[in-house]
């Protein structure tokens, strides 16, 4: 199984990274191919809303989304990992989600139908109501893209670094194992 991780946090050693490492290690233990994309390091321009991509799936913008797109197409599993920023995903991940319009064709059929997706999310708030808008955004996005939403982990109480408790690491590993 090939996996691409869309790592949306700017913090390479933050809370979201703890979850992503747990997922990645579990996949690698079973010799699965994992590609981690640090979106913050990449050049991803905002979608210009021209719809030129719909006919052939080729975006007019020449930037790193070309490679991200290729890795997403090659993968069986796409992991969306992000901190909650203002009740939504980080800007880094939102850019990729907006540019994912290029996965749709002129009739709004998805070119990446059937792939699996999971989401790994950390947030400062102790109250999980905060994450509800983001989870419904993921669900509706995946429905539109024809991705099968296989599971999600949310970790509250992550205002400072290193706040992800072992129980959530184990939960993440368990979720990944359930897909293998
Ligand atoms: C710009 C910004 C916006 C944030 N917005 C929220 C929010 O709306 N709700 C929340 O619970 N936490 C919010 N947080 C806290 C982060 O989601 C939380 O600290 C997260 O674990 C950081 O992940 P990281 O360590 O991987 O960077 C925000 C943090 C930043 C920097």
| Cα 137 to ligand 1 centroid, rounded to whole Å | 17
**pTM for this structure?**
0.98
How many angstroms separate the CA atoms of 79 and 175, rounded? 12
In the predicted structure, residue 158 carries a pLDDT above the cut 90: yes
Q: How many CB atoms lie within 10 A of CB 13?
A: 10
DSSP count for the chain of H helices, then E strands = 6, 5
Q: Which CATH architecture has domain 2-179?
A: 3-Layer(aba) Sandwich (3.40)
In the predicted structure, residue 162 carries a pLDDT above the cut 90: no
Whose alpha carbon is nearest atom 6 of ligand 1? 85
Span 17-27, mean pLDDT?
98
| 171 class by beta-carbon count within 10 Å (0-12 exposed, 13-18 middle, 19+ buried) | middle
In the predicted structure, residue 163 carries a pLDDT above the cut 90: no
Residue of 21, 83, 127 with the most ligand 1 atoms within 8 Å of its CB, for mutation: 83
State which H helix or E strand residue 153 sits in: strand 148-155
| Cα 123 to ligand 1 centroid, rounded to whole Å | 5
pLDDT digits (tens, 9 = 90+) for 86-117: 999 999 999 999 999 999 999 999 999 999 99
The answer to whether 67 and 6 have CB atoms below 8 angstroms apart is: no
pLDDT digits (tens, 9 = 90+) for 26-66: 999 999 999 999 999 999 999 999 999 999 999 999 999 99
């Amino acid at each position: 199984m090939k996996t691409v991780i869309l790592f949306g946090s700017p913090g390479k050693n933050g809370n979201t990274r703890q979850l992503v490492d747990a997922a990645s290690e579990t996949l690698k233990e079973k010799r699965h191919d994992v590609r981690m994309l640090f979106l913050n390091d990449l050049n991803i321009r905002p979608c210009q809303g021209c719809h030129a991509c719909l006919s052939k799936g080729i975006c007019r913008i020449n930037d790193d989304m070309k490679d991200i797109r290729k890795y997403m197409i090659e993968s069986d599993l796409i992991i969306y990992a992000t901190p909650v920023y203002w009740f939504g995903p980080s800007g880094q991940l939102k850019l990729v989600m907006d540019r994912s319009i290029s996965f749709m064709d002129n009739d709004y059929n998805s070119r990446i139908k059937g792939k699996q997706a999971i989401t790994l999310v950390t947030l400062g708030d102790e109250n999980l109501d905060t994450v509800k808008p983001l989870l419904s955004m993921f669900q509706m996005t995946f429905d539109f893209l024809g991705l099968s939403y296989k599971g999600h982990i949310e970790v509250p109480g992550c205002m400072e670094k290193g706040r992800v408790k072992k129980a959530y690491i184990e939960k993440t590993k368990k979720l990944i194992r359930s897909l293998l």
